[in-house]
Amino acid sequence: MKIGISGKGGSGKTTISATLARVFARQGFPVLAIDGDPNPNLGMALGLKAETLEETHSIPRSIVERKEDADGKMRMVLKDSVENITALHGIAAPDGIRLIVGTKVENPGAG
């Protein structure tokens, strides 16, 4: 099962995502939570400590590559399996959840 949450800023996406992740994990489902927000807070909502999250990095762009499909269209495809990517880049969260931070401001600069 795959569940995606989207909506306007401030609409509760992170809270709903964390709640659903923990409910499913507590029911025994394997859960991979992916935080795609440039200001990632899903880890905190899942119960991870700020210190743990400060030490994490976003998933590198090098995990995907452009390939041409059978119809001649260019697609972005994973270079490795989801299982391996999760093992390498996932963060252990409460209730057995694995968290991947998809994007994060690594080196903020002046605007």
User: Residues 13, 61: contact at Cβ < 8 Å?
Assistant: no
What's the pLDDT score for residue 79? 93
What's the pTM value of the predicted model, to 2 decimals? 0.80
Question: What's the CA gap between 105 and 90, in Å, rounded?
Answer: 18
Q: Where are the domains of the chain?
A: 13-101
- Strand (E) positions, the chain? 32-35, 64-68, 74-78, 91-92, 98-101
- The whole-chain average pLDDT of the chain stands at 90
Average pLDDT over residues 57-80: 91
pLDDT (tens digit per residue) in 9-59: 899 999 999 999 999 999 999 999 999 888 889 999 999 998 888 888 788
pLDDT(106) > 70: no
